[in-house]
Amino acid sequence: MNLFTIRSMRPQDRWEIAELICTSTNCWYQAHGFPAIFTAGPQSTVFHFDTYAALEGSSGIVAVDTETGHIIGSCFQHVRPTHVSLGIMNVHPNHVRRGIAGALLRVIVEAAEIDGKPVRLVSSAMNLDSYSLYNRAGFVTFGVYQDMTLRVPLDGFREPQPASGHVRPATPGDLGAIVALERDVSGIERPGDYRHFLENADNVWHVSVCEGEGQKGRLDGVLVSCLHPACNMIGPGAMRGSEAAVALLRAELNVNAGRSPIFLVPVAEGGMIKQAYAWGARNCEIHFAQSRGGVRPQVNGIALPTFMPESN
């Protein structure tokens, strides 16, 4: 069996990593009876590399086959003020069972331990190999989410929700309040992410906030959308309560009018799930939020994760 080495990603790896992400992800879904996820090819998944290259605190590592020099595995990581997030991990389908994913994971976990930070991730409940990899490495599940999707009407959803009057598009001036909100709800901070979303240099991000009542400058919720074809998702989001969550979800669905975005809802949020069903949503997958190291995460409100960039 050929050996491999682990090294940092380089700018010239951009297209090879995009090809790897597209090939390995589509292969896994198709092998398990599902349609391909990335139908536009690596021209769309280069978005993953470009986003991590632009985000503050993010980087990546790759596994390189020593005989061919080809990249056969990759993983992104995101060092934030409060924790390290594990981004999308891929292994080429021709090179499975060689210990590549475990080797990539060990490098990131060891670096986080040196830095004294917990590592967090969101993984598919359908991929038991992936779940077992993380679970064996000491990751503990602290949240369960159902992935939901729906086709948003071209004219959106018009009926208002109780907190709809407090929802508006976010501005760069909201950054401090957004960071404080997520710290209150989830105990994490990622100012660089929200700065990136609000600046929207790629013209694919949209952010809405729900203003609080009775306390100037306080926010009751924030929700982001990604409109890129490689990752049309709603999230991340943090809300103090269900009224803000439903109103923000309606607002971001309307931003996605005519599209079919995916969003992750905590399985315990019955009211939010009921409203999503009323809009026509269906379930398409289940995901687990997992953490290794540090205090077991607590959510004092509602947290909606996403995959690009990973947000947990």
- C-alpha span between 39 and 58 (Å, rounded): 26
pLDDT digits (tens, 9 = 90+) for 126-150: 889 899 999 999 999 999 999 999 9
What the chain holds in terms of domains, given with CATH numbers, is 4-117 (3.40.630.30), 146-311 (3.40.630.90)
pLDDT number for residue 307: 87
pTM over 0.85: yes
Mean of pLDDT over the chain: 93
**Cα–Cα–Cα angle for 139, 145, 148, rounded to 5 degrees:** 145
Is the pLDDT at 87 greater than 60? The verdict is yes
What pLDDT does 296 receive?
74
What does the pLDDT look like over 255-292, one tens digit per residue?
999 999 999 999 999 999 999 999 999 999 999 999 99
Percent of the chain with pLDDT strictly greater than 90: 83
Range 78-105 average pLDDT:
93
Q: Is the pLDDT of residue 251 over 60?
A: yes
Query: Is the model's pLDDT at 214 over the cut of 70?
Result: no
Q: Does 115 score more than 60 pLDDT?
A: yes
The pair of three-digit structure tokens given for residue 197, joined into one six-digit string: 């979303």
Give percent above pLDDT 70 in the chain: 98
Tokens (6 digits) for 198: 């609000």
pLDDT value at position 217?
A: 76
Residue 1 pLDDT more than 60? no
Residue type, 284: C
Query: Is the distance from CB of 166 to CB of 250 less than 8 angstroms?
Result: no
| Residue 36 phi, psi dihedral angles, 5° rounding | -60, 145
Which pLDDT belongs to residue 154?
A: 97
DSSP secondary-structure letter at 247?
H
Binning pLDDT at 50, 70 and 90, where does residue 299 land?
confident
C-alpha distance from residue 294 to each of 56, 75, 140, 141 (Å): 23, 22, 11, 13
169 cis-preceded (ω within 30 degrees of 0):
no
